[in-house]
Amino acid sequence: MMRYGILLMGAPYSSQAAHSALRFARAVAGRGHRLEGVFFYHDGVHNAARLAAPPQDEPHLVDGWAALAEDHGVSLQVCIAAALRRGLLDEREAARHGKQGHSVEPPFELTGLGQLVDLGLRCDRLVTFGP
């Protein structure tokens, strides 16, 4: 059993990165490894969009990540600096910036870049999926 981390930098439905990362994540968990966390960075933060509503006959990536978190206790960490400037705010940040509504909710959490460093240090393997 090894500890894994994933860094995802591709937006959903723009490139294959998010699909690849989710497929890899499921395979890692399926092989009995511990997937510690997924860090969403750059355009990858769009994977945390609470309001994503893809057609029903397409994979729902946001729900896919949430299911992964629920089934395997994977933490879903979203870079706060990349998220805020793209309009991805949780309830707390929305209130802080005077915005109506919020676009990020648990199990996704807004965190700092330090968490990515920590993930890299904690895990035996960190695999990056770029756009």
Active-site positions read: 79
The Cα angle at residue 108 between residues 23 and 90, in degrees rounded to 5? 145
54 to 93: interface string for other proteins, x by CB under 8 A: ----------------------------------------
107 prior amide bond cis, ω within 30: yes
List the structure tokens of 54. Answer: 């893809």
Asked whether 61 and 70 are in contact (CB, 8 A), the reply is no
The interface region with other proteins, picked from 28-36, 50-58, 62-70, 91-99 by CB under 8 A, is 28-36
Give 24 or 93: the residue with its C-beta nearer to other proteins: 24
Q: 11, 12, 18, 28: which one contacts other proteins (CB under 8 A)?
A: 28
Q: 24, 52, 75, 94: which one contacts other proteins (CB under 8 A)?
A: 24
Question: For 3-41, b where at least 16 C-beta lie within 10 A, e where not — what string?
Answer: bbbbbbbbbbeebebbbbbbebbbebbeeebbbbbbbbb
Q: Does 14 bind other proteins (CB under 8 A)?
A: no
Q: 14, 70, 92, 128: which one contacts other proteins (CB under 8 A)?
A: 128
Does residue 34 sit in helix, strand or coil?
Answer: strand
Q: Does 122 bind other proteins (CB under 8 A)?
A: no
Residue 66: CB atoms within 10 Å: 19
Applying CB under 8 A, the residues found at the interface with other proteins are: 2, 4, 15-17, 20, 23-24, 27-28, 30-31, 33, 125-131
